[in-house]
Amino acid sequence: MCELFAGQDPQRYASVRRSLRLRGFVTSLVLERYFWEVLDQLSADEGLSTPQFISTLYDEVLKRHGDVRNFTSLLRVACCVYLAGGKQGG
């Protein structure tokens, strides 16, 4: 069973840094390559570029919660929700 997970190509989970602009400031985010691939697809499905999608999500979270904590974790969870067909757990 673990072969499915342990046998992953290391490039799939290699850290990749991308720079983008959030609220007028240039920043960089580090995610595993696979999460970037999922975000690219999710963004395309939304009709946005990946930086546009991430910026929009950041603004929406800021508006809803007043601050944005652990944004890269939020992006990973967004990818998981997307891959699960949009089903949201608690």
**Whether 42 contacts 53, CB under 8 Å:** yes
> Any idea what the CATH number is for the domain that residue 66 is in?
1.10.3990.20
In a domain, 65, yes or no: yes
Q: What is the chain's pLDDT, residue by residue, as a tens digit (90 residues)?
A: 678 888 889 999 999 999 999 999 999 999 999 999 999 999 999 999 999 999 999 999 999 999 999 999 999 999 999 999 986 655
Q: How far apart are CA 85 and CA 54, in angstroms?
A: 19
Determine the longest span between alpha carbons in the chain, in angstroms.
46
Q: Count the domains in the chain.
A: 1
Q: Which secondary structure element, helix H or strand E, spans residue 33, and what is its range?
A: helix 33-45
Structural domain span for residue 48: 10-83
In a domain, 90, yes or no: no
In a domain, 2, yes or no: no
In a domain, 1, yes or no: no
pLDDT (0 to 100) of residue 89: 56
In a domain, 4, yes or no: no
Q: How far apart are CA 7 and CA 77, in angstroms?
A: 23
In a domain, 89, yes or no: no
